[in-house]
Amino acid sequence: MDASKLIDGKAFAQGLRARVAAAAAELQARHGFRPGLAVVLVGDDPASQVYVRSKTKATEEAGFHGVEHKLPASTTQAELMALVARLNADPDVHGILVQLPLPAGLDAAAVVATIDPRKDVDGLHAQNVGALWSGAEGLVPCTPLGCVLLLKDRLGQLAGRNAVVIGRSALVGKPIAALLLAENCTVTVAHSRTKDLPAVCRQADILVAAVGRAEMVKGDWVKPGATVIDVGINRVPTPDGKGRLVGDVAFAEAAAVASAITPVPGGVGPMTIACLMRNTLTAACRIKGVPVPA
């Protein structure tokens, strides 16, 4: 494959994190505060533990004030809501991330609704969802923001392009569609009931796959010259039993046809944490009333 086709999310995310760290140092020097991020983990889901560890590490590397709350799976709804209320009131905390999914019995929607929208760095509060669709100022979910930053970096102007987003989850598909619409793309959102998905995908100048099905998107679904963003993270079995991560796109086939494509791993994945740091910086600046660095 022609290496210039590869959209290197890992390198882009490193650059973004370095810019955020520099901006945080500047805030400390000029305004005397550090962005603060609180991460809340309930229970002992192994994947969530890995995510929380990387978020904490990134928080330290950015020079932020980091707070980690690890609660047992037996935590009650009232206890969790009380913690969120304390974090809402904490002047050193500008971003609150409650790692999802929550253990059975806990109502994630109610918890998200309790987060101060100005501190909702995951962008899931109804006020931020509304802001995204209405074009108002808010906080945007991290993975979708990462996808659009990669697209703008590669393509420049996105206006007028046909974008097809496969997947309509509140966390990924819908916010990506909203962001692409805001960039003046013509957006189609496909899902499990879409008829003739390959034909729909072949219309796409920008094809975003956020499905959760290993290598579902085949090479002949991709319009020649399209840009492909693969959000999927799927573990497939290997003979050594360790498994291997693949995206929602059959990478080699699609890369032969596309003009640019994100790999899995090393594409969209690293952008999520980088954008979490950027969102926390943004939230901190807004709360403190200082200009948000570009």
b/e map of 163-180 (b: 16 or more CB within 10 Å)? bbbbbbeebbbbbbbbbb
Cis check for the bond before 175: say yes or no (omega within 30 of 0). Answer: no
Q: Is 231 in the site for ligand NDP (CB under 6 A)?
A: yes
How far apart are alpha carbons 13 and 95 in whole angstroms? 19
Q: Which is nearer to ligand NDP, 136 or 199 (CB)?
A: 199
Torsion angle in degrees (nearest 10) through CA of 16, 174, 40, 47: -80
Task: Work out the burial of residue 68: count CB atoms within 10 Å of its CB; fewer than 13 is exposed, 13-18 middle, 19 or more buried.
Answer: middle
Q: Is 191 in the site for ligand NDP (CB under 6 A)?
A: yes
Q: Which is nearer to ligand NDP, 36 or 232 (CB)?
A: 232
Q: Is 211 in the site for ligand NDP (CB under 6 A)?
A: yes
Q: Are 99 and 52 in contact (CB under 8 A)?
A: yes
Q: Which of 120, 122, 230, 248 is catalytic?
A: 122
How far apart are alpha carbons 63 and 58 in whole angstroms? 9
Q: Is 99 a catalytic residue?
A: yes
Q: Is 122 a catalytic residue?
A: yes
Give me 260's structure tokens: 């640019």
Contacting ligand NDP (CB under 6 A), which of 48, 56, 188, 234? 234
Q: Is 103 in the site for ligand NDP (CB under 6 A)?
A: no
Q: Which residues are annotated as a binding site for NADP(+)?
A: 167-169, 233
Q: Is 171 in the site for ligand NDP (CB under 6 A)?
A: yes
Contacting ligand NDP (CB under 6 A), which of 14, 74, 77, 192? 192
Q: Is 172 in the site for ligand NDP (CB under 6 A)?
A: yes
Give me 152's structure tokens: 């703008």
Contacting ligand NDP (CB under 6 A), which of 35, 43, 66, 173? 173
β-bridge partners, 71: 42
Q: Which of 99, 174, 205, 230 is catalytic?
A: 99
Q: Which is nearer to ligand NDP, 150 or 172 (CB)?
A: 172
Enzyme catalytic residues: 55, 99, 122
Contact footprint for ligand NDP (CB under 6 A): 143, 166-169, 171-173, 190-194, 197, 210-213, 231-234, 268-269, 272
